[in-house]
């Protein structure tokens, strides 16, 4: 079980490291857009759309990495007062009954959403916009796959905690 956890955590870590470069590209694009807009008094639609695509990719693809370090939004009204085993039970049942089904629904529906977009060659509706809108739509699927993998790792860690094995 520990090998599975280590492998899933490794995937999450490598994904987070790779996706962090999107933030660098996003900062560069925003900087260029600001320079062009305020010095030359115009902007390109494609530049704005690149910023939107990069932000969307960053947000979606880093969801598993964020979950790995428990930096996601959580309402901790009762959770913080629970013992480690109590938290593990909440995490295990939350993963089984909420996270996994939700990830499944989003992965399946977003796959068809992206596939349809790819088949029709969907591009930006804006004149001068970017082609390949399906790339961003497939990032929804990929992001939820990463979230699901990290969620499985988290559930396995909860299982270990519940049964007093190496956590």
Give tens-digit pLDDT for 6-59: 999 999 999 999 999 999 999 999 999 999 999 999 999 999 999 999 999 999
Q: What is the mean pLDDT of residues 137-154?
A: 97
Calculate the average pLDDT of the chain.
Answer: 94
Q: How far apart are CA 150 and CA 144, in angstroms?
A: 10
Q: What is the mean pLDDT of residues 120-126?
A: 94
Q: Do 162 and 89 meet the contact criterion of CB atoms below 8 Å apart?
A: yes
Q: What is the pLDDT of residue 165?
A: 55
Q: What is the pLDDT of residue 166?
A: 52
Q: How far apart are CA 159 and CA 139, in angstroms?
A: 30
Q: How far apart are CA 95 and CA 20, in angstroms?
A: 26
Q: Do 143 and 79 meet the contact criterion of CB atoms below 8 Å apart?
A: no
Nearest Cα neighbor of 4 from 153, 161, 114 is 153
Q: Is 104 helix (H, G, I), strand (E, B) or coil?
A: helix
Q: How far apart are CA 95 and CA 141, in angstroms?
A: 18
Which structure tokens are listed for 120? Answer: 């029709």
């Amino acid at each position: 079980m520990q090998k599975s956890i280590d492998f899933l955590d490794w995937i999450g870590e490598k994904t987070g490291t790779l996706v962090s470069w999107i933030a660098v590209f996003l900062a560069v694009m925003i900087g260029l857009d600001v320079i062009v807009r305020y010095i030359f008094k115009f902007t390109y639609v494609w530049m704005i759309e690149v910023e939107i695509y990069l932000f969307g990719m960053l947000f979606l693809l880093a969801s598993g990495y964020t979950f790995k370090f428990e930096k996601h939004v959580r309402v901790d009204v009762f959770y913080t007062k629970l013992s480690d085993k109590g938290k593990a039970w909440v995490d295990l049942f939350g993963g089984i009954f909420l996270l996994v089904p939700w990830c499944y629904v989003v992965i399946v529906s977003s796959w068809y959403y992206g596939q349809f977009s790819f088949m029709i060659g969907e591009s930006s509706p804006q004149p001068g916009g970017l082609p390949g809108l399906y790339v961003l739509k497939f990032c929804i699927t990929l992001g939820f796959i990463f979230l699901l993998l990290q969620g499985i790792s988290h559930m396995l860690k909860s299982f270990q905690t519940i049964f007093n094995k190496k956590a």
